[in-house]
Amino acid sequence: MKYLFAIGMSFVLAACGTQPASQEQVDTAVAAIFTENVPLATETPASTETQQPTNTPSFAAFTAQQAIDAFEAAGLATGAYYPMTKDDYGIGPYVGVGIRFLIPSLGVDKGGRVVAFDNEEDMELLRSYYEELGRQSALFFSWVYVHQNVLLQINGDLPEDQALQYKVALDTMGQ
C-alpha cells in the first residue's frame, strides 16, 4: 500500500508539470516510507490524547500471598512458605511472582507453589510446563489449578481430595 502511494505520487507530480520522478527518487521515497513512520495522505493523524482503557480489568487480579491467605483461612496446611527464587522454579520457566509452601504431611521439602501473573501468556507457559511433566512421567505428576491470574501447583503425592480443597480455597479468592 505504501509502495503504491509512492509510485502514485510520482505520477501525480509528473501530471502536474514537474519532471517525472526517477527510479532512484521513487526508491528513496519508498525507503523513507518503510523506515520512517510517515503517515499516508489518507490516514487520520493519531490523537495526542492518552487513550484510557474502557473498563477492562487488569489481568493481575490477585497476588500469591492472597492465595496463601485463602489456604490458611480455609484451614489448609501451608507449613513454612517463602517467596520463590529462580532455584524454586528448577528447570521450569522463570515467570510470574510465586510463593513456595510446604505441606508437612507430605514429608520434607514437599508441598506446592502458588504463582501470580500479570499476563496470560506467562501463566499458560508455566501451566503447560507442569502439565506436560506429568504426561511425560507419573514421577513428575502434580496437581495444577488456575484461578484467574493465579496458578497453583501441588505435589502429586497429595491425595486428590485434599488437593481439591486447595483449589476450592483458591477459587474463593475475591468473593
Domain boundaries, the chain: 1-51, 64-171
CA–CA separation, 122 vs 129, rounded Å? 11
CA–CA separation, 59 vs 123, rounded Å? 11
pLDDT of residue 33: 39
Global pTM reads 0.66
pLDDT of residue 24: 55
pLDDT of residue 58: 72
pLDDT of residue 57: 54
CA–CA separation, 101 vs 129, rounded Å? 19
- Successive 10-residue mean pLDDT values, the chain, 175 residues: 39 41 48 41 45 54 95 93 94 96 93 96 96 95 97 97 97 88
pLDDT of residue 14: 40
Q: At 31, list the grid cell.
A: 525507503
Residue 138 CB coordination number (10 Å): 8
pLDDT of residue 47: 44
